[in-house]
Each structure stands twice: as C-alpha cells, then as structure tokens.
A and B are shown apart, each in its own frame.
Chain A
Amino acid sequence: MNGIDLNGPIGFTPDPLAQEAMAMQAKLRAGLETLPRVDDVSYGATEKEEVWRDGKVVLYRFRGDTLPGGRAPTAKVPLLIVYALVNRPYMVDLQSDKSIVRGLLERGEDVYVLDWGYPDRSDRYLELDDYIQRWIGGAVDHLRRTYRMDAVNVLGICQGGAFSLCYSALNPAKVRNLITMVTPVDFHTEDNMLSNWTQGLDVDLFVDTLGNVPADLMNMCYLTLKPWRLFVQKYVGLVDILDDKAALEDFLRMEKWIFDSPDQAGEAFRQFIKQFYQGNGFVKGGIDIGGRPVDLAHVDMPVLNIFAQQDHLVPPSSSQALGGLVGSDDYSELSFRGGHIGIYVSGRAQREVPQAIHDWLAQRAG
C-alpha cells in the first residue's frame, strides 16, 4: 500500500484509487468504439417452425436437424415447453451458447414451445381456463394427434410450471412425464417477497382499474425485489464489459428479454393472484379452472422438479413443496446451483440442465 500501513476498512491509498478510476475511464473510452459495432441484438438461436395456432397463441417445433451435425430427434415422445406469461419464451433459446432447447435437441429430444403472444385490450377477459385448457390443451391434443399417442411430455417453466401442474392434474392421462422448472407451488413460504406484497393487494380493484396489467408495472415490481442490485449495481458492472463486443451483446440480449414483457390479460391475472398468490391453492385447495377443481394428488405421472438454490423470484422452498403434494410415486428433484435466470443461461445450466432432463426422460422412455 505504497508503504503506508493502514488500519480500518479502507485498505487503499489514492494511487490505486486513481488507477481504478482510470481503468474505468479506459473502459468507457473503449465503449465508444465497441458500441457502434454492436448490431441489433438477435435472439432465438434455433430454427423453429409453426405447427399449430389458436388466436395469438402459436406452437412451434424446434428444428434439431438444422443444427451443426443436426439430426432428426431420437426421442419418441415430444416434449412441450410451457413458459410463463410474464416474459417471452425465447429465454429457453436465447443464443446458441445459452440455449436449453439446443441442449435438449442435441441429445435427441423432440422439442416444442408454446408462444403466448402479446395480449391486447381485446384479451382482457381471457381466463386461466383459456390458457390452461384451451391453449395448453390444444397444443397437447395437437401433438397427441400428430404422434398418434395418448400422452406427451411437458416441461413447465415458472408460471408455466404452475399452469402445467394444473393441466396435468386436470388431464393426467394426456401427460406422460412432467418436468417443472423454477415453479412456484407453495406461495406462502416466509421467504417469498413477491407473495408478501400481493397479500394486501385488492386485485379486483387493481384489474378493474387497469384492465390488462401493463408490462411496465410488472417489470417495476420485479426490479423492486432487489432494487440496488438490479437497477444500480448491474449498470455499474456494465462498464466492465464495454470493451468486449460479445459480452456487451450478451448483456443487451438479456436486457431485451427482461424488458420485452407482454401485458397481462386482466382476468387471468386476477385469477392467478387470487387463487395462487393469495389463496395458495396448490397447498390449501381452491384452484378452479373453468369450473373444475385442481388437486395435485391427481398428478400421478412421473415428475421431475427442478429448482434454483438462489432463486429470488421463486424460492426453493416454494418449489420443493411439490414433493409432498403430487400423487405420483415417481417424484424427483434437481437442485440447481444458481438463480432464476441463471438456470436458463449460465454455463453451468447448459452443462447440467438439458442432460439431467434428457437422462430423466430416457429412464422413462418406452
């Protein structure tokens, strides 16, 4: 320390502080050269084709045969990915080296994804029944017809996992194997900040006033779960990568995904908050989808529940409650070391998650 023996928490002198500042200046300087070379960020790495559509909702099939060294799927049973309503599903295929989908395709899975589209004001009165029975059900039925089989594999992610659980409970004969990923099940665990905030919300007033729930409000809510990290620290960290075009593009692609959020159809939002967040219906009962009660004891197919240990949106305790609620005797868990986003895009996720899903499905193939 320049020959100065310092006591106290500050262990630096002006000299290294100056060096640090200049290093940041150099990054800023480099950023002025890097930024013009950054193109409009693309997303969705894998070619896919539309195979079914109902209104704004589209079912896509990913084309594993278009990948380098690609091939037709070896899995006999298609895997339907059901994503959340609050963000776009291309997170599972963000870019070539951050793609759960690609990892699954490379292992021979036959992967489909349901795209909910962007609800507009005319969709305000869509209900959970529409999302679960009409659209998940429609996609599943399409696959059942196409493959001439009674049941298909379903991978539900986050809120899409909760929807998949409902669908599986209501239609157990149509789901061969169910995988849930970062899926909230017990909405009343002590560490669930989002749930705590919804308890005092007059959701009837909220939806009656707003109609559809604006995406900006949803994003604001998510940002305020960790305001300093997500709105301050992250953008200071941006300086570190200003001289790295690839890293900058990765950052911007993630920004695109985070803020590319659809508005939420008002009635479905109202039902989801009331029955899941406030009523904790998976645990306490009371979930009603189109007049039919949901009981997770009816989920009797094999279940793989994947959760993230550092998930601030869906705490592990919320996901793990599933084990005590499903009727299946074949229930497995995969505890992933990472967060709610890292489980899709981190290097560890690319190594671990597709392989674990593939192996688990392979054990149940027949």
Chain B
Amino acid sequence: MAHQAPGNDFEALARQYWNQWGEMMRGAATPAAPSMPDWNQAAAWWSQMARGASQAAEAEDAMQRFNTQARGWFGQMQQLAAQFAGRNADAGEIARSWKQMLGGAGGNPFADVFSKMGGPGQHGFDSWQQQARPLLDAIQAPMRQWSQMPAFGFAREHQERWQALAQAQMDAQSATEAYQALLAEAGQDAFERFESKLAERSEPGRQLTSARALFDLWIDAAEEAYAEIALSPRFRETYGRFVNGQMRLRAAVQGEVEHATAQLGMPTRTEIDAAHRKIVQLERELRRLRDRMDDGDGTGGRSEAPRAGRGETVKRAAPKQVATSERASKAAKPALRKAKPAAPAKAKAKPVKRKGKPAKASSPRPAAKRAAVTSSSAPRAPSAPAKRTAVRKQAR
C-alpha cells in the first residue's frame, strides 16, 4: 500500500526535483526556455498518497478538489513562470504565452474550470447530462425518425411527446452553446486584463516576485472579466435560457421514465408528489383547526397573547433569568455612535449608523422607541399603535 512508506517515496521524488531544478538553472542563461520540473506529476502523485491519509471525510474531498483544479492550473502557471524567469519579457509576451498555453483564441478557461466542478455522485448540470446520455442516445433514433412527421393515428400522443423531447434536446444544446460562448468571451477578456495587470506590474518596485504572485494576478484578471459578464443583461438572458433549456429537457426525460415505469405497474414520482401534497395540505388544515380550538376566539392562531401552541416542548426546568446590574453597567458605555441618516451607498467610515434618537442606557425602553409609539409624526409609517391594530385586523 502506498501509504506505508510515503516519506521515502517523497524524498526520492524531491531529489529528482532538485536535480531537475539544477538542470533548469544551468540552462537559464541559454536562449532556449528551460524545462520546468513537473509540478503536475508531483502533485498528482502526492494527491494519490494523501488520499485516505486522514480519517476526516472532508480531507478526502479537499484533496479531490485540489487534485482536479488547483494542481493543474498552478502547474501551468509554474511552467509560465519558468519560461520567463530571469528574462526581460514584456507584459504582452507573457500574456500571449499564457493564452497559447490555455488554447489560444479558441481557449475557454472558464468552461474548463466549470466542467471540473462536479464530482462523483454530485447533482449538477453537466453530470445530469452525462447520466441521461444513455437514455437520450437510445431514443434519439426514433426521435429523428418522427421529429418531422405530422402526428396522427393511434400513436399520435406518443409521437407528439417524443417530438417535444427532441425539440427540448435541441433547444438545450443550443442554449448550452450560447452559454459556453459567453464563458469563452469572458476568457478572452481575462487574457486582455491579465496583460494590463502585468503591464501595471512592470514598474520597478511593483514587479512580481514569485510564481504564486503571477498566479494570483491571473485569478484577479479572470474574476474581474467574469464579474463584468456575469452581471450583464446578456448573461442574465443566456443563463436563464441555459437553465430553462436543461429543465425542459429533464422534464421531458422524466416524463418518458414515468411513462415506462407506469407500464410496469410501478409508482411514479408524480403520484408520490401528489400524495405528499395531500399530506401537507391536510397537516396545514389540521394545524389551523387546532389553533382555532386552542385560541377559542377564531383568530386562526394569530392571537397576540402567549398560548399553548404548536410544536413539542421539551420538558425541562425553566431557564434561569438572572437580572443583575451588570448589564446596566455595561450599557452605560454605548458602543453605537450617533450618525447621520443612512446614505446607503456611502456608509463605510463609521461602523455604526443610526436614525432616530439614540437610547440612553439607563432607559428601560429606548427614547426614540417611546416617541414612535406615542407620536404620530413617525416617518414613512403610521404610528405604532395604529399599525399594530391594522396588523391584528389583517390577522383576523
């Protein structure tokens, strides 16, 4: 088992790495780009060894995420760093090289990240498509055969259903492509932003001092590019089409599955949902009736007075309520400072802002609150007693 002597294996790999680095440094003065020790290979190997090393399930998941994403991306960035280490390359040259590493003008780094987000057993958009693929493949032939034909005769309803499924599949495919195109656009924008950020770091004193810093700069560029597109109306529409398209396809596939299972006499999800709906409705109705009986006044369980109510109280001794002067003495040093009325977008300098009068610590109820209860001049709302009366009326 690999875990029996991880240290020895790792030491051997480390020696190999030192040797590679030595080779690389010896070759650094030559015009040819030096070869980079393969971080990817080492990290992959390490991930394998680390798997199962911890009893914590979370550790296993984290290793999986490290392995599927971080390992590859950082490995590539190290390659880029090695390519330009010790060279007077400008921002454009570095950004172009990075872009080439990620597929050039046809690259879609966002799609690459997204496609690896799912894992075994996870419920996601991509994973569902993979799960449903055998079924969709199996019914594609008859769908193609029937998709263009008018529906009539004994199988009319079935044909229409299959035609709808075929259309849903085509729509989902089209929506997915549009979504991927937007992600690709974000990727291309990210390359441009990366170059700009690199240019900003060209000044003496602002230069990048590690592969990690180069990597972080790319992350900043990519997130900025993504945020701009993800907040746009175009993305809103495209994302909506993407999700809705897949939901229509899923619904159609689920309908086919239900159709097939019903023929075998098996209960369907629709039937189970209907039963659940009835149970919830009955439970809700029962609760309302019980509340009315508890209240005895027909308020539907919304009386203001405390009452024996729903739910199950766990029998315990009553909580201790210790009223001491300590609280009042602490309250004598108010942490909240009086502030101007809220100005939503600009509030930052003062940690706490308040509208209305600040309460005195010694007051049993805040002064502003008392004023609100008794005054009819409270802003934007009727006086509190009037409002509560209104609410009670609504409750009835």
Q: Give the B-binding residues of A (Cβ under 8 A).
A: 2, 4, 6-18, 20-22, 24-25, 28-29, 31-33, 35-36, 38-41, 49-54, 57, 59, 61, 71-76, 78, 107-108, 110, 121-122, 124-126, 130, 134, 138-139, 141-142, 144-148, 150, 170-174, 190-191, 193, 196-197, 199-202, 205-206, 208-211, 214-217, 220, 223-229, 231-236, 238-239, 248, 251-253, 255-256, 259, 292-293, 297-298, 300-302, 309, 316-317, 320-321, 323-325, 327-336, 352, 355-356, 358-360, 362-366
Contact = CB atoms under 8 A, between A and B. Distances in A.
B163 interface: no
B146 interface: no
Task: Please name the 8 residue pairs, one residue from A and one from B, whose CB atoms are nearest each other, closest first.
Answer: A200-B240, A366-B364, A11-B207, A327-B381, A54-B311, A235-B70, A359-B335, A362-B331
Contacts, number: 466
24 contacts: A12-B210, A13-B28, A13-B86, A14-B24, A21-B37, A31-B46, A33-B7, A39-B55, A110-B319, A126-B280, A200-B237, A205-B244, A211-B269, A217-B123, A217-B125, A220-B117, A228-B113, A316-B347, A324-B380, A328-B356, A331-B356, A335-B350, A362-B330, A363-B359
B327 A74 contact: yes
A363 B361 contact: yes
Interface in B32-54: 34, 37, 39, 42-43, 46, 49-50, 53-54
Given A14-B28, A76-B323, A332 B372 contact: no
Given A17-B85, A360-B336, A200 B123 contact: no
Contacts of B17: 21-22, 25
Contact of A17 (B210, B302, B369, B381): B210
B369 A302 contact: yes
B356 A196 contact: no
A10 B56 contact: no
Contacts of B81: 10, 12, 17
Interface string B309-349: 11111101011111110111011011110010110110110
B75 to A, nearest CB: 10
B391 to A, nearest CB: 6
A139 B344 CA distance: 33
B391 A209 contact: no
Contacts of B345: 317, 320
A267 to B, nearest CB: 9
B interface secondary structure, majority: helix
Contact of B50 (A32, A61, A174, A226): A32
Given A10-B208, A49-B316, A228-B113, A209 B247 contact: yes
A6 B89 CA distance: 9
Contact of B342 (A110, A302, A324): A324
Contacts of A253: 58
B124 A52 contact: no
A208 B248 CA distance: 10
Contact of A38 (B59, B74, B328): B59
A327 B117 contact: no
Nearest to B363: A366
B89 A8 contact: yes
A28 to B, nearest CB: 5
A248 to B, nearest CB: 8
Contacts of A6: 86-88, 207
A11 B204 CA distance: 9
B208 A317 contact: no
Contacts of B359: 302, 330, 363-364
A12 B77 CA distance: 14
B34 A14 contact: yes
A269 to B, nearest CB: 13
A327 B319 CA distance: 33
Nearest to A57: B311
Interface residues of B, number: 168
B351 A29 contact: no
Contacts of B212: 20, 236
B236 interface: yes
Contacts of A108: 326-327
Nearest to B255: A209
Contact of A330 (B116, B280, B356, B387): B356
Given A49-B316, A332-B354, A17 B247 contact: no
Contacts of B390: 298
B165 interface: no
B91 A193 contact: no
Interface in B346-396: 347-348, 350-361, 363-366, 368-369, 371-372, 378-382, 384, 387-388, 390-391, 394-395
Contact of A51 (B314, B323, B352, B372): B314
B381 A300 contact: yes
Contacts of B6: 32
Nearest to B215: A236
B199 interface: yes
Interface in B196-227: 198-199, 201-202, 207-212, 214-216, 219, 222-223, 226-227
Contacts of A74: 322-324, 326-327
